[in-house]
Amino acid sequence: MQDSKQDPAIRWYHERAEHVADDYESLSFPDVHNWLIYRLPPGGDSTVLDVGAGSGRDAAWLAERGHEVVAVEPAAALRGEAARRHPHPRIRWLDDQLPGLEDVHRLGLCFDAILLSAVWMHVPEGQRARAFRKLITLLKPGGLLAFTLRLGPEAPERGLRAVSVAELRQLAAGHGAYVEHVGESADALGRPEVSWAEVVIRLPDDGTGALPLLRHIILNDEKSATYKLALLRCTCRAADGMDGLARSPGDDDDGDGRVELPLGLVAMIWVRLFLPLVRQRLPQLPRHDGTPRGLGFAGDGFRKLLDLDVAPEELRIGVRFSDDRARALSMALREAAETIRNMPAHYTTFPGGDQVFHARRARPSRAQDEAIIDAPFLWQYGVFRIPSELWRALQRFSVWVEPALITEWKRLMADYADRQGQQLAPAMMEQALDWREPQRDVRLARERIEALREAGEPIHCVWSGRLLKQSAFEVDHCIPWAAWPCDDLWNLVPATPKVNGNKGARLPDAATLQDAEDRLKRWWERAWQSAPETTIAERFRREAAATLPGLRDDQSHDLDSVFSALDLRRIRLKQDQQVPEWCYRTYPKPTASRGSRRPD
């Protein structure tokens, strides 16, 4: 199933989309999957992946019961038919396919359940090991992988191949999972030559070893400097808020399953972390005096950034550097990339001795007089590779992993200082290690609202649709600042004070976001994409590519794609951080206590 244009199965379903959909819709989910219903997780906080979603029958049944569903269907006409028949706000349609599911992996989601109904027989035998590995790494601990296997004659014109329960048992055993249920049933459409096997595979724990590996690096791994902790914190930060820049190169059966990041991104976060530490003269090595001397990455570029008083929070996507500042930044990132490759990436190892991280430097380029921090700028420094299971663990657990890193970093610095007969104030270390987000800044959004009004264009609240009064409007963070500090342009939207106050620090739920889709896209188009300054439209694109999941940094993005990515970011925060949801239609009337909350 590598090329959808050539694959006979996808072509067959594409050409017969309406007829196939009618067949599927003639049966209900309980008709086909009654054996599975009581094994599914409860709806509400559960996320389900439906691979080969067909007419959308199963995805719709799951969504109606409160599950957030990602429905994957590679046959374009069938996917369109399904979306038309089942326009549910908790279903996200995706064009992707086995064995790689590359676009699903880019979303950064982990699933409570994955359903493959009448799909496995379309995967060629030689690609099934890779397909199973890709599926199992998408599961949460305790998650289930449910198959229905077609037992019947092969049909090459439809890409139907022989399958067996024994094959799935073997694949499960090789990935630390177990077969929880096996059953068999007659064909629900009455075909005598076809029967079906039902298989549930369960992942009993994290299934990856990622969390023990994190503990090993943070607490047990030998450290002659703070560099290993710094590198792990860099990957934590990239996974938490800049994972849109990650890419999966598409491994084969013998591939090592690694995710790639721009080495320039890791180096930029590295420099951002170390600038305040060096300014506070905090030791990073056993006999280090806290100055740039002795730090391999603190060469001419890093020292120049210190001299120019560049603030750490300036090192973020979308910021433009020029002249001396641009040249200093270019040199500092080259220096940091070289240190990362030669030191922590080289010496951070699995318990067995192999490297955890791989860094490959690009050929050094000349210092630049003008630099915009975006994906092309950061990729030019090289490639940083991280095991996919570790990357996914950091995406889910960085909010808990990073405090452990900071605690160990403080302990190391205090130990280094103690060896030199000094004592470090805990408050000073905490302040220097604090990740400094930019101050909340909605000025540009307010300016665009005023400019559009002056041009005679009405502005409406994206949530309620009400016309904003001349002096009574607020700029809301669609993804609330309290949950995820982000002033990216896609996240700043106009709202009435009443609605903004009631939304507070909550995520819009699926129905509210879907209802606001057209108003959101209209606002993005008017405020950012059609702004007279072309740099604003370019900033909107760069920020969306860097911080929203599933958008490729090397492509321009239509607003439908940006909206879908926003919805997936919403699900990630709901899933990983349990951020509460808000529904516009049912928000409570303001009270004295609610009215005193700071709106977002």
Structure confidence at residue 256 as a pLDDT band (50, 70, 90): low
pLDDT of residue 251: 44
* pLDDT tens per residue, range 549-578: 877 655 556 899 999 999 998 998 887 777
Closest CA to 239 of 564, 577, 555, 549: 549
Domain boundaries, the chain: 8-202, 210-433, 443-595
- Burial label, 507 (beta-carbon count in 10 A; 0-12, 13-18, 19+): buried
Mean pLDDT for 367-392 is 89
Cα separations (Å) of 137 from 172, 254, 390, 494, 574?
12, 16, 10, 39, 20
Taking a C-beta distance cutoff of 8 angstroms, is the pair 195, 203 a contact? no
Tell the residue number behind the tokens 């904003």, with chain if given.
Answer: 468
Percentage of residues in the chain having pLDDT higher than 70: 92
In whole angstroms, give the CA distance from residue 325 to residue 369: 8
pLDDT of residue 598: 36
Taking a C-beta distance cutoff of 8 angstroms, is the pair 544, 538 a contact? no
Closest CA to 25 of 84, 93, 94, 74: 84
Closest CA to 21 of 56, 68, 61, 70: 56
* pLDDT tens per residue, range 230-239: 999 999 999 9
Closest CA to 381 of 324, 318, 322, 329: 329
In whole angstroms, give the CA distance from residue 317 to residue 237: 13
Is 383's pLDDT higher than 90? yes
Taking a C-beta distance cutoff of 8 angstroms, is the pair 184, 163 a contact? no
- The pTM assigned to this predicted structure is 0.75
* Amino acid at residue number 265: L
pLDDT of residue 527: 95
pLDDT of residue 600: 52
**Distance between the two ends of the chain, CA-based, in angstroms?**
45
pLDDT of residue 591: 43
Q: Which range is least confidently modeled, 88-102, 235-249, 264-278?
A: 235-249
Is 449's pLDDT higher than 50? yes
Is 458's pLDDT higher than 60? yes
* pLDDT tens per residue, range 329-371: 999 999 999 999 999 999 998 876 788 999 999 876 677 788 9
* Amino acid at residue number 494: P
Fold of 8-202: Rossmann fold (3.40.50)
Taking a C-beta distance cutoff of 8 angstroms, is the pair 160, 122 a contact? yes
Is 593's pLDDT higher than 80? no
CA of residue 310 relative to chain centroid, distance: 29
pLDDT of residue 329: 96
Mean pLDDT for 43-69 is 93
Residue 28 dihedral angles phi and psi, to the nearest 5°? -100, 170
Q: Which range is least confidently modeled, 177-191, 296-310, 475-489?
A: 177-191
- How much is the mean pLDDT over the chain? 87
Tell the residue number behind the tokens 């491994």, with chain if given.
Answer: 251
Comparing 201 with 586, which gets the higher pLDDT? 201
Taking a C-beta distance cutoff of 8 angstroms, is the pair 561, 524 a contact? no
